[in-house]
Chains A and B, each alone.
Chain A
């Protein structure tokens, strides 16, 4: 356990010296928190939100707005749409950190000395993985907290802000988010083993955002209904995917393999 801690601290003190990483980790949550707050704010102040009838919203969304006015429901719909983008935080931050921390180890040629120490492969992977997942979780939880507080003050009705903090979104942020981060780290580890450029590893791993965007546009188009059941199923699926990916990453990350095939 101590060794995992040593690795985590080492990663942080190194990776956060990289301006690009710092930018992603700091800037992304900032922007993704600001956007829904601004939307919420402009909708609440423009006043015509109340004029939107329930009929103007994709039919199935109405099911999610029991007891809300049309304006409230549309506010909820739009803001929660951006909360989906919010889920990019637990995907993109770990991918960035993991890409730099693993490919970086290759380019600086520090991997072999590291592997010559009595650290197990799993400890090393866990250290690097956690070094990427922890900041992502903290950033997304922190951003969500800021957003919730802001929503409380600027949403047009208590109904809306309460809905934004209901179990559905809490579960998305606190359970699905970290599970997504773990999957992202595993994918980044595997891709990092094949490329020699941190940016390349990062960009390839970013393809993970595609399912999220599919959800985003699917929802706009009215194909997908995001409700508690869907989030539940996502969590279950992610647990299974994570287990598989972790096993695969550990398998790919054997000392022998790394030293002789990681070129």
Chain B
């Protein structure tokens, strides 16, 4: 649905995006993660044919960016980084204007459909200046959907919102995901990316990593089993270390952490040998690295990582 090849953008001599190559499949929710000034907004703007590309290629919904810009605008919807609404105008009018500009056939019907979906039908005549931030954001997303675009771009959909409003918006995005829409989402919120996105790109001017959230975790950290013992001690660490295919063993308080190739197969054996050696096993679980750990590993320079520890 989105294909980029060596996509590059310079602002004068400032390099904003360099050699970005990726593919987003139909129906996928794709997370685009990166620190401030990484070039996320720049990338989205290029893909929506809002700004020109310096070099490389990109196609969206089968149309070539830079050559078939009109078709791209017809087939994409974008929630911009700072999406404004016409505060003086009603919710209905705000959507109506955009539906007309997109040459939607049944303007009134489409506007009604989305206002009802947002639970705003009752307030359709109120000026949107009176709406809460979360409502405005949802309205802005709906505005990008009126023409039923093939691809929806969301540039930091929850960044300026309080937790409650953010949740409202996130639920709305989850609903859109259920409908099978292709969504390209820039975000700083790693938890949100983890929950909503099928795949994630970590990006800072260049592409640093690209995979599903769980694969990224696994690649970086392997899989780690946690054994809670009532009587944890170095003796048990040694036992785990001397077992084949156990890579790294750590003791933290009364927990033993072991990085394994195949926990499903190895855990029973390990529990057995621990118990045989006299360990009182209370729980066995898997350590879930947060996506934040993964993200920071990629995005921080080694010096920054030192500092963080």
Instruction: Tell me the A residues contacting B by CB distance below 8 Å.
Output: 2-3, 6, 10, 13-14, 17, 108-119, 255-256, 259-260
Q: Contact at B101–A260, with CB atoms within 8 Å?
A: no
Q: Pick the residue among A13, A14, A17, A118 that contacts B101 (CB under 8 A).
A: A118
The minimal Cβ–Cβ distance linking B214 to chain A, given in whole angstroms, is 33
Q: Which residue of B lies closest to A108 (CB)?
A: B84
Q: Which of B235-262 contact A (CB under 8 A)?
A: none
A-side contacts of B200, CB under 8 Å: none
- Known contacts A6-B97, A109-B82: A116-B87 contact under CB 8 Å: no
Taking chain A's interface residues, is the majority helix, strand, or loop, or is none over half, making it mixed? helix
Residues on A with beta carbons closer than 8 Å to the beta carbon of B150: none
Chain B residues with CB under 8 Å of A109's CB are 80, 82-84
Q: Is the CB of B50 within 8 A of A110?
A: no
With a cutoff of 8 Å between Cβ atoms, the chain A residues found around residue B298 in the complex are: none
Contact of A116 among B11, B48, B88, B89 (CB under 8 A): B48
Contacts of A13 in B (CB 8 A): 88-89, 93
Query: How many Å lie between the Cα of A10 and that of B88 in the bound state?
Result: 11
Q: List 9 A-B contacts (CB under 8 A).
A: A14-B89, A17-B88, A109-B83, A110-B84, A110-B85, A112-B50, A113-B144, A118-B102, A259-B51
A113 in contact with B98 given A108-B85, A118-B73 (CB within 8 Å): yes
Q: Is B145 an interface residue when CB atoms closer than 8 A count as contact?
A: no
| Interface 0/1 of B48-79, CB less than 8 Å to A | 10111000000000000000001001101110
Q: Which residues of A contact B130 (CB under 8 A)?
A: none
A256 touches B52 (CB 8 A): yes
**Which residues from chain B contact A112 at a C-beta distance below 8 Å?**
50, 78, 80, 82-83
Select the residue from A17, A113, A115, A119 with max chain B CB neighbours within 10 A: A113
Say if the beta carbon of B188 comes within 8 Å of chain A: no
Q: State which of B11, B51, B98 has its C-beta within 8 Å of the C-beta of A255.
A: B51
Task: Determine the distance from Cα of A109 to Cα of B82 in the docked complex, in whole angstroms.
Answer: 7
